[in-house]
Amino acid sequence: MAQLIFFTGPMNCGKSTLALQTDFTEAQAGRLGRLFSRNDRAGAAVISSRIGLEQPAIEVGDDFDFWAYAIHELTHGQRLDYLICDEAQFYTPSHIDQLARIVDDLQLDVYCFGILSDFRTELFPGTRRLVELCDRMELLQVRPRCWCGEPATHNARTVDGLMVTEGSQVVVGDVVAEQSEVAYEVLCRRHHRRRMTAAVARITLNPEPLPFDR
Q: How many CA atoms lie within 13 A of 175 on its CB side?
A: 20
Catalytic entry in 87, 132, 166, 181: 87
Q: Is residue 87 annotated as part of the catalytic site, yes or no? A: yes
d(CA 65, CA 177): 34
For β-strands 154-159 and 162-164, DSSP reports them as: antiparallel
Tell me which long-range contacts 37-42 makes (C-beta under 8 A, separation of at least 24): 37/85, 37/86, 37/87, 38/86, 38/87, 38/90, 38/91, 39/87, 39/90, 39/170, 39/172, 40/16, 40/86, 40/87, 41/172, 41/173, 41/174, 41/179, 41/180
Q: Are 151 and 45 in contact (CB under 8 A)?
A: no
Give the residue numbers marked as catalytic: 87
